[in-house]
Amino acid sequence: MTSVDRTPKPSFTKSLFLGQVQSELVMPYPLMTDGERAKVDAAVASAREFLTETYDPWKAEREGWVGDDTIRELGERKLTGLFVDEKYGGLGLSQSGYCRVMEEFGRVDASLSVVMGVHQSIGTKPLFLYGTDEQKERWLPDLAAGRKLAAFVLTEPNVGSDAYNLETWAERQFDGSWLLNGEKRWIGNGDKDVLTVFARSDLGHVALIVEKGMDGLETGPRFDTLGLRANHLQRVRFTNVRVPAENLLGEPGDGFRIAMNTLNNGRMSMGTSISGGMKRFLELALEHTTTRRQFDREIIDFELVEDKLAWMEQSIYGLESTSYLTTGMVDAGTSDFSLESAMTKVVASDVGWYALNRAFQVHGGTAFMNDHPLAKALRDFRIFPIFEGSNDVMRAYVALNGLKALSEDLPDVASLRINDPLKAVGVLAPYVSGRINRRIRPDKLRGAHPAFARQVNSLSDQTTRLRDRAEAALRKHGKRVQERQLIQKRLADAASGIYAQAAVIGRASAVFERDGADASGAEKTVAMNFLKRTERQVGRALRSLEVNDDRFVAQIGRTVREDGGYGFRL
């Protein structure tokens, strides 16, 4: 990437809640160097060749698995070890490079992108990040070559979003080994080879490598899912499974941190995989609307059709800009990117679903046929707002982390009493009432092209308003703000929108600097309109923190609960 400064850097999004715009974290926009781009382009070309000429997503869906032959060929092309060091047989790509290749899988088949994402983004990643040299030498070569597949084993029958309170138990033995008991569910690649399993113990949470064939390990039966039918989603049971001491990742007590940091990394590739899918939806929509004629004209000529395609184009541009800003920040050494990763995942899974529906709509009844690629996508994409952190939980996570950072910055507000809002989704301590009469004036986003002067000023104003509204929520609700999820949603959506605008301003500025603003006219139009649209969305989110119908929503919700459903008769 263009940035070479490896000094650990704080979170850009947390600074927004403080009313600060830390330009140095996001500007200049991280573009690939020529050397890395050549390497990534070669991997993209290899992936695209196989996916378009050999791989058959319909066959994979019929047979219920992407195919061992597919895994073998991807391994031979080194596409199963994209970020793994070359000395272990991988390609050694950066986070941005890895996510760019994952975009190709998302363009062709969501099932295959999930299989590859589970294997690499969250299955192999814990070993890559936390394994000892001996552990890496033992497992990474087979995983990078596709001879073995990895799984991330966290979710349980009674534990989903509340990942801290696992029920699977690991008991340390006198010889240092661990005796593992418990049950997991909804585990992608759960019947495969190398399972990173998370459990609780007397010494805290642990991350253990469990291998296929260990005594007491059972998998199945496989879940019968609505979509992603070529992905093995399994039950996994542990009955006195003895895990050797050398299979422990990190130290006892590190397990929860390893799990959360792994998911932070994994969410970024979901964003780019979904953007790949969205590009395919747009291609299908364009093909259909320029060949389908009604009322003696191509249907793309109708404004309501054109509007949908324009929305998709702008949304892809915004998501792509946000995704690769986040990956670029990671490559540049940003140490705290958890909020940016969470927001990227939320936006990707939301706009991906909306884009799919728009593409589906312009196809009319054609897409409703079961053998249409958009019908398959409709089944496959619905899980993404739930996968790797429910969007509702992710919004709460973003907002409560931002509020925690703000509370620590206020002299008369005690800080949150927790270290990680995911453990309890936030507990705010009481504070002294009364508003500090001051106006935060954040620095403007530095390094933007002059064409974005108005947008830079607007971003600064939005940041000020986010800080004001977040402080007002703290002062009004105190520790009860942990229960005010509608407030959390609005704060998170506003922060996400501001971050997306910074990403688009940065990306377009870098392109203008490289190619010239006049040569980038079409891109300028897309960028400007995305910024206008997102500015309006942020404005609505911030205004609704002051003027809303929340009390009526709560009242109606109680009525539904008391009546046991719809309670009115005509």
Q: What are phi and psi of 20, to 5 degrees?
A: -120, 140
In the Cβ-directed half-sphere of 42, how many Cα atoms lie within 13 Å?
10
Tell me the residue ranges of DSSP E strands in 383-539: none
Q: What are phi and psi of 378, to 5 degrees?
A: -60, -40
Give the residues across from 181 on adjacent strands. Answer: 169
Do the Cβ atoms of 333 and 29 come closer than 8 Å? no
Radius of gyration (C-alpha) of the chain in whole angstroms: 24
Q: What are phi and psi of 149, to 5 degrees?
A: -115, 150
The Cα–Cα gap between 482 and 485 comes to 7
User: Would you give the distance in Å from CA 25 to the centre of its chain?
Assistant: 19
Do the Cβ atoms of 514 and 304 come closer than 8 Å? no
Do the Cβ atoms of 262 and 126 come closer than 8 Å? yes
User: Would you give the distance in Å from CA 484 to the centre of its chain?
Assistant: 24
As a three-state string, the secondary structure of 234-280 is EEEEEEEEEECHHHEECCCCCHHHHHHHHHHHHHHHHHHHHHHHHHH
Q: Which of 156, 388, 471, 535 is catalytic?
A: 388
The Cα–Cα gap between 477 and 550 comes to 14
Strands 248-249 and 194-199: unpaired
388 given a catalytic annotation: yes
DSSP assignment of 142-172, as one string?
A: HHHTTSS-EEEE--BTTBSS-TTS---EEEE
Does the bond joining 28 to the residue before it have cis omega, within 30 degrees of 0?
Answer: yes
Which residues does 444 contact at the CB level (< 8 Å), separation at least 6? Answer: 21, 23, 456, 457, 459, 460
Does the bond joining 442 to the residue before it have cis omega, within 30 degrees of 0?
Answer: no
C-alpha distance from residue 475 to each of 111, 284, 406, 544 (Å): 46, 50, 11, 17
The Cα–Cα gap between 254 and 240 comes to 22
Do the Cβ atoms of 234 and 190 come closer than 8 Å? yes
Q: Find tokens 């002067």 and name the residue.
A: 453
Q: For 186-230, where are the alpha helices, taking DSSP H only?
A: none
Which helix H or strand E contains 207, and what residues bound it? strand 206-211
Residues recognised as catalytic: 388
